[in-house]
């Protein structure tokens, strides 16, 4: 299993989470600094509704098809991913988001996802 973190949030947070949790790749918006000081600019790489634009590249990077790919999310920006991948999982999401996913979970520990993935692993 390979892991990609795709966030409409900021890179400084995404990079930390990706490193701590062992993600293979991450993509997020870039907080800009000038002379070591935040300058108020953000490089938009993943707009709020822009996650689908990165999905095919991530699949190619991992040598996976869309049907071999799972998306885990909690926001309206994740719904288009659920509709394109083989397994869409809504976690701690609003009811309308859960209704668009293949599986939905309420959990405090993401290890609770492991039984959901187990049938798909060799």
Give the number of other Cβ atoms within 10 Å of residue 121's Cβ.
7
pTM exceeding 0.95: no
- Three-class HEC string of 29-53: EEEEEECCEEEEEEECCCCCCCCHH
Superfamily of domain 63-122: HAD superfamily/HAD-like (3.40.50.1000)
Q: Give the model confidence (pLDDT) of 36-83 as tens digits.
A: 999 989 999 999 899 999 999 999 999 999 999 999 999 999 999 999
Exposure string for 58-94, b = 16+ CB within 10 A, e = fewer: bbeebebeeeebbbbbbeebbbbbbebbebbbbbebe
pLDDT above 90: residue 120: no
The full set of domain ranges for the chain reads: 1-47, 63-122
Q: Give the model confidence (pLDDT) of 4-35 as tens digits.
A: 999 999 999 999 999 999 999 999 999 999 99
């Amino acid at each position: 299993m390979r892991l990609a973190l795709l966030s409409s949030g900021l890179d400084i947070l995404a990079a930390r989470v990706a490193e701590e949790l062992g993600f293979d790749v991450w993509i997020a918006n870039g907080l800009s600094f000038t002379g070591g000081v935040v300058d108020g600019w953000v490089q938009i790489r993943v707009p709020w509704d822009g996650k689908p634009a990165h999905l095919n590249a991530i699949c190619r990077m991992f040598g996976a098809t869309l049907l071999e790919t799972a998306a885990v999310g909690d926001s309206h920006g994740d719904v288009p991913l659920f509709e394109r991948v083989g397994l869409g999982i809504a976690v701690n999401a609003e009811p309308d988001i859960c209704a668009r996913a293949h599986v939905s979970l309420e959990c405090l520990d993401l290890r609770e996802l492991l039984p959901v993935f187990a049938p798909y692993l060799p």
